[in-house]
Chains A and B, each alone.
Chain A
Amino acid sequence: MQKFIFLGLIILTQFLLANPKGYSIETITTPKDVYFHIAGLDIDKQGRVYCATRYGDVWILDKGKWIQFAKGLQEPCGLVIDDDGSVVVTQKPEMTRLVDSDQDGVADLYLNLSHEWGFHNNYHEFNFGGIKDKQGNFIGSLNLAAGPKVPGLKLSAMSTEGGYRGWAYKVSPEGKFTPIASGLRSPAGLGKNPQGELFFTDNQGDYLASSTLNQLEPGKFYGHPISLLDKPEYNMTTLKNMDDQEFDKMRTLPIVWIPQEEIANSPGNPEWNATKGKFGPFENQFFIGDQSRSNIFRVSLQKVAGRYQGAVIDFMSGFQCGNIRLKFDLEGNLWAGQTSRGWASRGSRPYGLQKVVWDQKTIPFEILDVKLQKESFKIYFTQKINPQDAKKIKISRWWYEYSRMYGAPKSELEELTPQAIKISADGMSMTISCALMKERVYCFDFSELNNDKLANKKAYYTIINLIE
Chain B
Amino acid sequence: MQLKNILNLVLIFSSSLLLKADDLSELRGQKLYETICFSCHGNKLEGATGPNLKDYEWLHGSSKSDIIKSITNGFPEKGMLAFGALYKQEQINDLVNFILSRQQGLRNVEYKIFHDIQLNDKFEWDKHKADKQRSLKPPHFNPNLPEVNQFAISFKGQLLIPKHLAGDFILSGIRKQYRGIALYIDGDKIPFPTNKDRAIKIPLNLRAGTHDIRLEYIKDFKSTVFFLDLVGKETIPLTSESYRRSITSSHIPKAENAFLINRKRITAAPPGSIIVNHMDKISYAIDPKTSDIKAMWLGKSLDIGPNIYARGQHFAQPIGTHLFSAEQSINLFINGKAAELKYIGYSDKPLPKFIFKSSEGEISLQSKIENNALKLSYSIKSNHALDINLKIPQELNTKLSKGKTKNGLFTPESPQDFFISIPIKELK
A157 interface residue (CB < 8 Å to B): yes
Shortest distance from the beta carbon of B157 to any chain A beta carbon, whole Å: 14
Which of B34-42, B310-318, B375-383 sits within the interface?
A: B310-318
- Decide yes or no: A123 and B312 within 8 Å by CB, A33-B78, A110-B346, A115-B343 being known contacts: yes
Contact residues in A for B264 (Cβ distance below 8 Å): 56, 74
Other-chain contact of A109, B148, B262, B347 (Cβ < 8 Å): B347
Shortest distance from the beta carbon of A67 to any chain B beta carbon, whole Å: 16
Contact residues in B for A105 (Cβ distance below 8 Å): none
B136 interface residue (CB < 8 Å to A): yes
Complex Cα distance, B167 from A166, in Å, reads 53
A412 interface residue (CB < 8 Å to B): no
Contact residues in A for B115 (Cβ distance below 8 Å): 405-407
Asked if residues A121 and B265 are in contact (CB atoms below 8 Å), the reply is: yes
Other-chain contact of B345, A109, A149, A350 (Cβ < 8 Å): A109
Asked if residues A54 and B131 are in contact (CB atoms below 8 Å), the reply is: no
Complex Cα distance, B272 from A138, in Å, reads 20
Chain A: CB-nearest residue to B264 = A74
Count A/B pairs, Cβ under 8 Å: 107
A124 interface residue (CB < 8 Å to B): yes
Mark interface residues in A336-352 (1 if CB within 8 Å of B CB, else 0). 00001111100000100
Interface size class of B (residues with CB under 8 A): 35 or more
Given pairs A102-B349, A148-B223, A206-B147, 20 additional interface contacts (CB within 8 A):
A32-B77, A35-B308, A54-B308, A55-B308, A71-B261, A72-B274, A74-B265, A108-B349, A110-B261, A112-B344, A115-B272, A147-B144, A156-B148, A157-B149, A206-B148, A340-B137, A341-B312, A344-B137, A405-B116, A406-B115
B224 interface residue (CB < 8 Å to A): yes
Contact residues in A for B144 (Cβ distance below 8 Å): 147-148
Chain B: CB-nearest residue to A74 = B263
Asked if residues A110 and B348 are in contact (CB atoms below 8 Å), the reply is: yes
Interface of A is mostly: loop
Shortest distance from the beta carbon of A124 to any chain B beta carbon, whole Å: 7
Contact residues in A for B260 (Cβ distance below 8 Å): 72
Complex Cα distance, B184 from A298, in Å, reads 44
Shortest distance from the beta carbon of A119 to any chain B beta carbon, whole Å: 5
Mark interface residues in A173-217 (1 if CB within 8 Å of B CB, else 0). 000000000000000000000000000000001100000000000
Contact residues in B for A406 (Cβ distance below 8 Å): 115-116, 131, 147-148
Asked if residues A157 and B311 are in contact (CB atoms below 8 Å), the reply is: no
B134 interface residue (CB < 8 Å to A): yes
A259 interface residue (CB < 8 Å to B): no
Asked if residues B272 and A93 are in contact (CB atoms below 8 Å), the reply is: yes
A94 interface residue (CB < 8 Å to B): yes
Complex Cα distance, B78 from A375, in Å, reads 66
- Decide yes or no: A407 and B272 within 8 Å by CB, A110-B345, A123-B313 being known contacts: no
B244 interface residue (CB < 8 Å to A): no
Shortest distance from the beta carbon of A113 to any chain B beta carbon, whole Å: 9
Chain A: CB-nearest residue to B262 = A72
Complex Cα distance, B272 from A102, in Å, reads 27
Asked if residues B311 and A342 are in contact (CB atoms below 8 Å), the reply is: yes
B135 interface residue (CB < 8 Å to A): yes
B196 interface residue (CB < 8 Å to A): no
- Decide yes or no: A344 and B134 within 8 Å by CB, A72-B260, A112-B343, A405-B116 being known contacts: yes
Pick from B149, B223, B310 the residue with the most CB of A within 10 Å: B149
Other-chain contact of B261, A35, A72, A344 (Cβ < 8 Å): A72
Complex Cα distance, B307 from A341, in Å, reads 11
Complex Cα distance, B147 from A101, in Å, reads 43
B289 interface residue (CB < 8 Å to A): yes
Contact residues in B for A157 (Cβ distance below 8 Å): 147-149
Chain B: CB-nearest residue to A75 = B312
Contact residues in A for B137 (Cβ distance below 8 Å): 340, 344, 350
Asked if residues B263 and A115 are in contact (CB atoms below 8 Å), the reply is: no
- In the assembled complex, 13 residue pairs joining A and B whose CB atoms fall closer than 8 Å, in A order, are A72-B261, A72-B262, A92-B272, A97-B345, A110-B345, A110-B347, A111-B345, A121-B315, A124-B311, A149-B223, A405-B116, A406-B131, A406-B148
Pick from B75, B147, B222, B308 the residue with the most CB of A within 10 Å: B147
Pick from A94, A102, A350 the residue with the most CB of B within 10 Å: A94
Complex Cα distance, B263 from A55, in Å, reads 10
Contact residues in A for B261 (Cβ distance below 8 Å): 71-72, 110
Contact residues in B for A206 (Cβ distance below 8 Å): 147-148
Interface residues of B in 303-332 (CB under 8 A from A): 308, 310-313, 315
Complex Cα distance, B305 from A341, in Å, reads 13
B271 interface residue (CB < 8 Å to A): yes
- Decide yes or no: A120 and B271 within 8 Å by CB, A73-B263, A406-B115, A406-B147 being known contacts: yes
Chain A: CB-nearest residue to B276 = A72
A91 interface residue (CB < 8 Å to B): yes
A96 interface residue (CB < 8 Å to B): yes
Shortest distance from the beta carbon of A189 to any chain B beta carbon, whole Å: 18
The 9 closest A-B pairs by CB, nearest first: A93-B272, A342-B311, A111-B345, A108-B349, A74-B263, A121-B271, A406-B148, A72-B262, A72-B261
Complex Cα distance, B311 from A108, in Å, reads 29
Mark interface residues in A128-164 (1 if CB within 8 Å of B CB, else 0). 0000000000000000001111000000111000000
Other-chain contact of B149, A108, A156, A344, A407 (Cβ < 8 Å): A156
B288 interface residue (CB < 8 Å to A): yes
Complex Cα distance, B148 from A342, in Å, reads 16
Contact residues in A for B347 (Cβ distance below 8 Å): 101, 108-110
Shortest distance from the beta carbon of B381 to any chain A beta carbon, whole Å: 18
Interface residues of B in 192-231 (CB under 8 A from A): 222-224
Shortest distance from the beta carbon of B151 to any chain A beta carbon, whole Å: 9
Shortest distance from the beta carbon of A125 to any chain B beta carbon, whole Å: 9
Complex Cα distance, B78 from A124, in Å, reads 33
Contact residues in B for A147 (Cβ distance below 8 Å): 144, 313
Shortest distance from the beta carbon of A71 to any chain B beta carbon, whole Å: 8
Complex Cα distance, B114 from A407, in Å, reads 12
Contact residues in A for B343 (Cβ distance below 8 Å): 112, 115
